[in-house]
A and B are shown apart, each in its own frame.
Chain A
Amino acid sequence: TQLLEQSPQFLSIQEGENLTVYCNSSSVFSSLQWYRQEPGEGPVLLVTVVTGGEVKKLKRLTFQFGDARKDSSLHITAAQPGDTGLYLCAAYSGAGSYQLTFGKGTKLSVIP
């Protein structure tokens, strides 16, 4: 089973600050996904990265896939209270498998 390690586990910052969260593994992935989950709700897909070195931007969120496709990062610029939530990275478990493996997540709190 491929293990996805996310760091930090918890992050509390002031509105307007920048932050980066990480997703690391010893395995190579064909693609990696980032989700955001709010309390009492299911995860919502933010982005899928596919190519090593790929950078994708979603408004103030910047996602990067490592060159070796083993790790990824999510950078948020000028965080807002609406960014508060649990950020999860996930990847498919193996060739031909539709089983998504998730990290434990980074719980982000943005204080007004």
Chain B
Amino acid sequence: DTGVSQNPRHKITKRGQNVTFRCDPISEHNRLYWYRQTLGQGPEFLTYFQNEAQLEKSRLLSDRFSAERPKGSFSTLEIQRTEQGDSAMYLCASSAGVGVRADTQYFGPGTRLTVL
């Protein structure tokens, strides 16, 4: 399977714990995105990488959230001191980077986070 993969698919944690999610993009895609989706809403943009550089960050990305893409391949999203409001589906997407209008983002299956 050469699509975007995310691990774990589900994560249940207690409030105050730290969690880390991993995203493996489609190989040779130089752009990688993180989104968050809560029930009844469309995905909301969190952050975007071009290779290893983090170029855009949403105001939704509080200081408890950090994302990395150290070698320009896989990416991790860490949430520190989780809160119940962090419960959501965290989606990763990647794209080949062919300009904005024609650039297609391919989404992974997501990681469902539940904070108790």
A residues with a Cβ closer than 8 A to B are 4, 30-31, 35, 40-45, 48, 50, 88, 90, 92-93, 96-105
Q: List 10 A-B contacts (CB under 8 A).
A: A4-B42, A31-B100, A31-B101, A35-B107, A45-B104, A96-B100, A98-B33, A98-B55, A102-B42, A104-B41
CB pair B45–A101 under 8 Å, yes or no, is yes
Task: Give the total number of A-B pairs whose CB atoms are below 8 A apart.
Answer: 67
Do A30 and B100 form a contact, CB below 8 Å, given A42-B4, A99-B56, A100-B45? Answer: yes
CB pair A97–B100 under 8 Å, yes or no, is yes
Q: Which of B97-112 contact A (CB under 8 A)?
A: 100-110, 112
CB pair A41–B110 under 8 Å, yes or no, is yes
Residues of B within 8 A of A50 (CB): 101-102
CB pair A30–B101 under 8 Å, yes or no, is yes
Do A43 and B56 form a contact, CB below 8 Å, given A30-B101, A96-B100, A98-B100? Answer: no
With the chains together, A41 CA to B93 CA distance in Å?
A: 12
CB pair A104–B40 under 8 Å, yes or no, is yes
Distance in angstroms from A87 CB to nearest chain B CB is: 10
CB pair B42–A104 under 8 Å, yes or no, is yes
Question: Which residue of chain A has its CB nearest to the CB of B9?
Answer: A40
Residues of A within 8 A of B105 (CB): 45, 100
Mask of B49-66 contacts with A, CB within 8 angstroms, 1/0? 000000110100000000
Distance in angstroms from A22 CB to nearest chain B CB is: 15
Mask of B77-111 contacts with A, CB within 8 angstroms, 1/0? 00000000000000101010000111111111110
Question: Which single member of A98, A101, A102 contacts B56 (CB below 8 Å)?
Answer: A98
